[in-house]
Structure 1
Amino acid sequence: MPRQRGLSLVEALIALVILAFGLMGVAAMQVKALQSASAGYTQSLANVAAVDAQERLWAALAAHQRCNSIPLATIESAWLSHWFTDPLAVLSHTQGQESRIDRQGCQFDVVVRLRTEPNEPHDSFNYVFQLPNQP
């Protein structure tokens, strides 16, 4: 009986199956990396939105001189529209309409609630800061 040289068809198919599983693992890692990068980007935008709310309140304090006289409802409505509710808003895809700005005296709590998928839980970010109460 002569000796065989090279690979048999069965060996080649087994090698292809192993290679296919390896490539599926690499593809799964790539998808997870893209999801994580997207989540990080969205969280960074949430941080920028919270800082924007704080800056809006500082500007209102300069105009009204007392933190109790700041028209919070007006500022909150404009902020929500700019970041979440307007169709062209940067975070409109995150269903962040439940975000809000709360006030207790001169302490403000900016709550940014994000949800990218309807069946996922919210990611909630709280940013607390205090404005000076000028006499």
Structure 2
Amino acid sequence: MKNQKQQGFTLLEALIAMFITASALLGLGILHLKSVQQSQLATQRTIANIQANDLIDRMWANVCSLSTQQTGIITGWQSRWDPTQAGTLDSNQSAMHQLLKNWQGTVTQPDTTKQRYQVVITWTNAKAAWYSSTPLSQRFTYNFTLPTCAS
């Protein structure tokens, strides 16, 4: 004969085990979603870093004529990364433009006595704001100093 006090105890154990399992699976799902979001942001920040380094390389190449060609260098850099110029972009740049939406790059020279520059790249990160109705604006700031040209 079965003990009457034990009746329904296994059902309660099963319900508790199901609740713990469901909670663990939900937590893993949320963790995965956050991981994908951070991976997307890391990809976008890497592309912004590549853009900033592209500008720095262009400025380094023209360091001796930077005072007269700075505007042209910056304009050329911005047009090279302009997504509306899809015909002039190679396939790698086109792929990058699909990941970095509505980007804008500005170059300032906070210290005119030395060749110190600041590159600020901003873009819209719609995937990071899945919980919000408005896309988030992301920013990447890169500070660098170029040597003076030895004449």
Would you say same fold, with TM above 0.5?
A: yes
Aligned 1:5-84 pairs, distance under 5 A: 8-61=10-63, 65-72=64-71, 74-83=72-81
Answer yes or no: is the 8 Å Cα contact 1:102–1:110 preserved in 2. yes
Q: Which runs of 5+ in 2 are unaligned?
A: 87-93, 127-133
Amino acid aligned to 1:70: Q
Structure with bigger strand share is: 2
Amino acid aligned to 1:99: G
> SS of 2:103's equivalent?
helix
CA–CA distance in structure 2, aligned partners of residues 134 and 91 of structure 1: 37
Structure 1: which 4+ aligned runs deviate by more than 6 Å?
4-7
The residue that corresponds to 2:106 in the other structure is 100
Answer yes or no: is the 8 Å Cα contact 1:83–1:90 preserved in 2. no
CA–CA distance in structure 2, aligned partners of residues 123 and 133 of structure 1: 31
Q: Mean alpha-carbon deviation: is it higher for 48-57 or for 84-93?
A: 84-93
Answer yes or no: is the 8 Å Cα contact 2:48–2:140 preserved in 1. no
Q: Which runs of 5+ in 1 are unaligned?
A: none
TM-score (norm 2): 0.66
TM-score (norm 1): 0.72
> SS of 1:90's equivalent?
helix
Amino acid aligned to 1:40: A
> SS of 2:136's equivalent?
coil
